[in-house]
Amino acid sequence: MTRPSPPSLAAPRVDGAAVDKGLKTGALGLVSSIVLAVSSTAPAYALAATLGFVVIAVGVQAPAIMLLAFVPMWLIAVAYAELNRREPDCGTTFTWAARAFGPRTGWMGGWGIIAADVIVMANLAQIAGSYGYRLVGLDGLAESALWTTVAGVAWIAVMTWVCYRGIEPTARLQRVLLSVEGVVLVAFAVYALVKVYAGTAPAGSLTPSVSWLWPSGIGWPALTEAVLLAIFIYWGWDSAVAVDEETADPTRSPGRAAIVSTVLLVGIYTVVSVATVAFAGVGTEGIGLGNEANAEDVFAALGATVFGDDLLGRVFEALLIVSVLTSAAACTQTTILPTARGTLAMAAYGALPRSFARIHPRHLTPTVSTVWMGVVSIAFYVGLTIVSENVLIDSITATGMLIAFYYGLTGFACAWQFRRAVHGPRDVLMRFLLPLLGGLFMLAVFVLACVEYADPGYGETVVGGVGGVFVVGVGALLLGVLLMVVYSRVAPAFFRGETMLDGAGDLELADGVATVAPADPDDRRRAAARDHP
């Protein structure tokens, strides 16, 4: 049945209301939102691929870095929750930054999300493809760039299809994938710690210490590098807010899910990092986490030793491979979701071509946006694989800059939006001070990343005497500026503030496409008077 199309689905916005873009409302509850948020960070994959490098940078104090990186993530999650409470819009940073700072800033916020998600899809696909072969014993194919790419492209295609089919099948699949992942991570930590305290851990193991949880005595360069890595592994929880318009309680559940997920993640990351450091130690030989040969995948290096060779151990070792595979696959899926909804919102407000706002009449999902996300991700992945695997590696590292950019922008947008709407200590803290601190922290991370990544000695590539990671990160943002300038000439209404100004403007759903009509001047004045008394 085709969804009816009322002539106008939006009056000027009020707190807790959002223009309807045709998505399926009430499809998700709080638990499903939390599952999507945690799945989007891919805990097993993130730890496997990052923990070793954090240990190489700071040694036994890797758990302290997990705690330290949690702070800005929680601050930004608070900003997301407060902005979502005011206006649950699937455009998230794009919509909120546009309302706070103007159309061009909002457009760049939306572009930051798109660029980061497209880049990380390449790495997720590569991991999923490689682990898929290892799971069935085809290690030779797992080492082949060609066959790994083929499998990675297949993963992206499958996950794009699942997202196209609807938000509810996506949520159900995520619950299964996250359950496997959670059980295996808990088992890994328990096995490792039991062996450490029983004295059966291999040579080089360490007894956990409270000092591991405090970052004292770490040099500034090492601290900067470790925090940048840890920020990356927390990224993704904002997917829960990107599906706010499809949530049963859109003004509260997505924000709660964002905050709860960051707390769950800090618990997972701290416990697993303590267990891993204690079991393997930080030595530079064998299974030691200081051994650079183990850094790219600590679970592959430690799995057999941690679980042992009995039947249960072999089962858990196989499940460890499955968990990293499902983690990367789940994150692939939950990366497509927010990007498709972000481009849907941008198109609905006239910031992208109108076709990106098309909604499937039965599944009530963004059709063109979802398909384009899959197609562009595949093209980017295949293109960089052909050009150079080193460039692909550096592009993944560069996503840290894009994450800091749009997370920081969201923190500043929250503080600015509510600067004149704080009516008590709670509002001052939650709507202004904490988001502002989160924005400032992310700004500092962005600046430090620029300095660190510009060093030609950092990363795998150098372009014109500058580190390739910096070139990719800044280049992605500059490409966004170029595209914005071009599109502002093609479709200037959004950039003139005619389709989005403090909620004014009517959004209409016709022929399955949501679009916003230019705002009436009287609506602008009323909205401005209401929001800025």
| pLDDT for 47 beyond 80 | yes
Mean pLDDT lowest among 105-119, 123-137, 451-465: 123-137
**Which tens digits make up the pLDDT trace of 211-230?**
999 988 888 888 888 888 88
Give whichever of 47-51, 64-68, 136-140, 517-521 has the largest mean pLDDT: 64-68
pLDDT of 329 = 74
Question: Which pLDDT band holds residue 193 (cuts at 50, 70, 90)?
Answer: very high
pLDDT of 191 = 92
Q: Crossing angle for the helix pair 367-387 and 103-135, nearest 10 degrees?
A: 70
Q: Span 241-267, mean pLDDT?
A: 92
pTM value? 0.87
> Across all residues in the chain, what is the average pLDDT?
84
Q: Span 457-465, mean pLDDT?
A: 85
**Residue 462 and residue 457: Cα distance in Å, rounded?**
8
| pLDDT for 4 beyond 70 | no
Question: Which pLDDT band holds residue 7 (cuts at 50, 70, 90)?
Answer: very low
**Residue 143 and residue 325: Cα distance in Å, rounded?**
15
What's the one-letter identity of residue 219? G
Mean pLDDT lowest among 265-274, 356-365, 388-397: 388-397
**Count of beta carbons in the 10 Å neighbourhood of residue 330:** 32
Question: Which pLDDT band holds residue 515 (cuts at 50, 70, 90)?
Answer: low
**Residue 337 and residue 504: Cα distance in Å, rounded?**
27
pLDDT of 501 = 53
| pLDDT for 511 beyond 70 | no
Q: Span 157-178, mean pLDDT?
A: 79
Question: Which pLDDT band holds residue 69 (cuts at 50, 70, 90)?
Answer: very high
Q: Which helix (H) or strand (E) holds 508?
A: strand 507-510
| pLDDT for 417 beyond 50 | yes
The more confidently predicted of residues 4 and 476 is 476
What's the one-letter identity of residue 276? T
The more confidently predicted of residues 183 and 517 is 183
Give whichever of 202-206, 298-302, 326-330, 497-501 has the largest mean pLDDT: 202-206
State percent of the chain over pLDDT 90: 40
SS3 209: coil
- What length does the chain have? 533
pLDDT of 2 = 34
CA 220 to chain centre: 26
State percent of the chain over pLDDT 70: 90
**Which tens digits make up the pLDDT trace of 317-366?**
888 888 887 787 777 777 888 899 999 999 999 999 999 989 888 888 89
**Residue 456 and residue 436: Cα distance in Å, rounded?**
33
Question: Which pLDDT band holds residue 412 (cuts at 50, 70, 90)?
Answer: very high
| pLDDT for 505 beyond 60 | no
pLDDT of 20 = 67
Residue 507, strand partner residues: 516
Question: Which pLDDT band holds residue 61 (cuts at 50, 70, 90)?
Answer: very high
Residue 452 exposed, middle or buried by CB count within 10 Å (0-12, 13-18, 19+): buried
Q: Which of 483, 479, 165, 131 is nearest to 337 (CA)?
A: 165
Residue 510 phi/psi, 5-degree rounding, is -135, 130
The more confidently predicted of residues 225 and 107 is 107
Question: Which pLDDT band holds residue 516 (cuts at 50, 70, 90)?
Answer: low
Question: Which pLDDT band holds residue 77 (cuts at 50, 70, 90)?
Answer: very high
pLDDT of 6 = 31
CA-angle at 206, arms to 204 and 210, nearest 5°:
155
Q: Span 416-421, mean pLDDT?
A: 90
pLDDT of 333 = 72
Q: What is the 3-state secondary structure (H, E, C) of 325-351?
A: HHHHHHHHHHHHHHHHHHHHHHHHCCC
Q: Span 142-167, mean pLDDT?
A: 85
The more confidently predicted of residues 45 and 347 is 347
pLDDT of 272 = 95
pLDDT of 1 = 34
**Residue 155 and residue 176: Cα distance in Å, rounded?**
17
| pLDDT for 523 beyond 60 | no
What's the one-letter identity of residue 172? R
Mean pLDDT lowest among 101-105, 462-466, 491-495: 462-466
Q: Span 144-170, mean pLDDT?
A: 84
| pLDDT for 406 beyond 80 | yes
Are 123 and 392 spatial neighbours (Cβ–Cβ below 8 Å)? yes
| pLDDT for 138 beyond 90 | no
**DSSP letter string over 14-66?**
-TT-----S--TT-B-HHHHHHHHHHHH-HHHHHHHHHHHHHHHHGGGHHHHH
Q: Crossing angle for the helix pair 103-135 and 93-101, nearest 10 degrees?
A: 160
